[in-house]
Amino acid sequence: MVDELQQGLIRISDDVVATIAGLAALETPGVSAMSGGISEGLAKRLSGRNAQKGVSVEVGQVEAAIDLRIVVQYGIPIQEVGVRLQENVREAVQNMTGLRVVEVNVKVEGVAFKDEAETDDSHRVK
């Protein structure tokens, strides 16, 4: 995004938009985690950049498009999680940046089950 003011320009980087979107996604009920995938892990190693896991953005001067890859919690309707996720991310990005979010695409890449080991930890010797 670029705003022309009398004092100069304001530019919002793609990484900032990706961070806002990722944080909003993780705050959405039913989202267990973001899914980075193999290609993103490779890109991080090659570029040395700390990219936002599971988030891809395209940012123009006044609009943004966001792609999210997530893992949902087992037992929660995926369609409901997806709709809430789109709403939360759109609202967060638009409120913080002033960009108009034209699309939020969600790809569910996995389902997280409650780990039985977490409940049995109370019996372990520490």
For residue 123, pLDDT beyond 60 = no
User: 60 by DSSP, 3-state: which?
Assistant: coil
The predicted pLDDT at position 37 comes to 64
| Residue 117 token pair | 């080991």
The predicted pLDDT at position 41 comes to 47
User: In this prediction, what percent of the chain has a pLDDT beyond 70?
Assistant: 74
35-61 in b/e form (b: 16+ CB < 10 A) is bbeeebeeeeeeeeeebbbbbbbebee
- Whether this prediction's pTM lies above 0.85 is answered by no
CATH class label, 14-36+52-112? alpha beta
Residue pLDDT, tens place only, 2-15: 565 578 878 899 99
Residue pLDDT, tens place only, 27-72: 999 999 998 765 544 444 444 443 468 999 999 989 999 999 999 9
The predicted pLDDT at position 7 comes to 80
The single-letter code of the amino acid at 65 is: A
Considering only 18-32, 40-54, 90-104, which range has the smallest mean pLDDT? Answer: 40-54
Q: Which residues contact 110 (CB under 8 A, 6 or more apart)?
A: 35, 71, 72
d(CA 6, CA 94): 23
Beta strands in 21-99 (DSSP E): 31-34, 55-59, 63-73
Q: Could you tell me the residue ranges of all domains in the chain?
A: 14-36+52-112
